Amino acid sequence: DNLQPEGDFAKRPDAKWAPGERANVIKRDDNLHPEGEFTKRPDGTWAPGERANIVRRDDNLKSEGEFSSREQHIWRQGERSDVVKRSDNLKPEGNFAKRPEAEWAPGERATVVKRGDNLHPEGEFIKRPDQTWAPGERANIVKRGDNLQPEGEFSKRPDATWAPGERATVVKRDDNLHPEGEFHKRPDQTWAPGERANIVRRGDNLQPEGDFSKRPD
């Protein structure tokens, strides 16, 4: 190392512990004061609120005249146009040439040409020298002394006996809501089957016409 310390090192001066300066706490007086008397919430008895009467208006829309029902139509077979099959006006001309049959043969492959190497080593190769293993140099461990030391005595935690904490008493308020009048029970009903509409089966309006030809055996 070409860097070396010069001169003497100045150590940290030994200083005694002393509490720091702290400003005095100044508590200002409150300049806001309540004026007059506070009115408490008046004690009132419960009474039902006012409710407007329900007024049902008459319906001013009425149907006039007679309603026309749907006319009944008799089923008739619809008209169907005749199927016309046009003849094809495109016809092939001449003979079709088939694909010639060819036998399989291997494809042509170029010959492999190996070029000679134009790079040659010159001189002698130096091998790696054989070395024996040895542990590396290691600096000595220097343990410095502690320059921080406690001063005075440590106060232990005082032994305290367990005691239950203070608990506020539970205040249960009375209920200011009470039911009025009589409650109507649900009337007892016996089970009865519900009404069911009659099943109406309509006639089939599709009927076959002509004779059916059987499938030949």
Report pLDDT for 90.
85
Q: What is the pLDDT of residue 113?
A: 92
Whether 46 and 178 have beta carbons less than 8 Å apart is answered as yes
pLDDT along the chain (217 residues), means of 10: 82 84 89 84 83 88 82 85 88 84 87 89 85 87 86 83 87 86 84 87 83 76
Residues 177 and 46 sit within 8 Å (Cβ to Cβ): yes
Question: What is the Cα–Cα distance from 163 to 166, expressed in whole angstroms?
Answer: 9
Q: Which long-range contacts (CB under 8 A, 24 or more apart) does 171-174 make?
A: none
Do 202 and 72 touch, CB atoms closer than 8 A? no
Q: What's the pLDDT score for residue 188? A: 85
| 86 half-sphere exposure, CB direction, 13 A CA radius | 3
Of 13, 21, 18, which Cα lies nearest the Cα of 152? 18
pLDDT of amino acid 112:
92
